Chain A
């Protein structure tokens, strides 16, 4: 494994892997904006779409789609922490909803994987429009590592050049 300093993330390849490989991410239009390994983080964007609203009359995004954005971004940050992509599965996820999303605006999530053991990775994340100091939701999650489905991460593995 290379040191954090000379480790280069192929952002474009990762972006394609997360979009093309995960049907639900693609259906929501989730895109990877940025990623790094030191600290291990990922940012993803959910474009505003009225199909994801909580009610026809308001157009405000349903909390569930913010949940998905945060879950996906947390998972992405785990890949960055491990560097050698490993099949993962969400074990638990806690979400605090801090304020409603503004109608018509995209939502960004930034997740940081701050610890990974042999079995479990620990992640925290925030969702916001453009200012992380004014968050829409906060998340804390744990992920099981090396879950079944080794082939599942082949694309991400290629994206990381492994």
Chain B
């Protein structure tokens, strides 16, 4: 099994981050994949019945949306980072803006500030219109963490 470090280096070389997200069991469980569009990372969480929080509306679980936003922030930092360190989430603040329907959800994250120790990332998840996000998040992450130990 290759380490995150090796996968990250390979992803930076090839520009293909799909293998990196595929190595995250929880991303696989949620059905999250990554693609690059014009040099920007865009994530997608494919709809699955197991993501539903409220079956009568029906609406996706707030937790699965929150997890998608956090994953997007993490991968954005790994994508943009010069060094290969694993960002650790310090604080995640999620705003739920509208009910998320039982369809695919897209996500895009943007680094607001990358400091020496802490990075602040903003992420937004949407369904049919990026201008009408279902949820947004501000994530602060510790970026001066230990290098990943060999797996």
Residues of A within 8 A of B (CB): 21-27, 50-58, 61-65, 67-72, 75, 87, 89-97, 147-149, 151-152
Contact = CB atoms under 8 A, between A and B. Distances in A.
A57 B64 contact: no
Interface of B: 1-4, 23-30, 49-57, 59-64, 66-68, 70-71, 88-96, 99, 148, 151
Most chain B Cβ neighbours within 10 Å, of A56, A65, A148:
A56
Given A64-B70, A92-B96, A96-B91, A71 B24 contact: no
Given A64-B67, A152-B54, A94 B92 contact: yes
Contacts of B62: 68, 71, 75, 89-90, 93
Given A55-B23, A57-B4, A69-B63, A63 B54 contact: no
A153 B54 CA distance: 9
B93 A22 contact: no
Rank and list the top 9 A-B pairs by shortest CB-CB distance, nearest first.
A68-B63, A64-B67, A57-B151, A24-B61, A27-B50, A62-B26, A152-B56, A90-B62, A149-B57
Given A23-B49, A72-B61, A95-B66, 10 more contacts: A22-B61, A23-B61, A53-B26, A55-B23, A57-B2, A57-B148, A62-B25, A62-B67, A97-B90, A97-B91
Nearest to B54: A152
A22 B54 contact: yes
Contacts of A64: 26, 30, 63, 66-68, 70-71
A71 B68 CA distance: 14
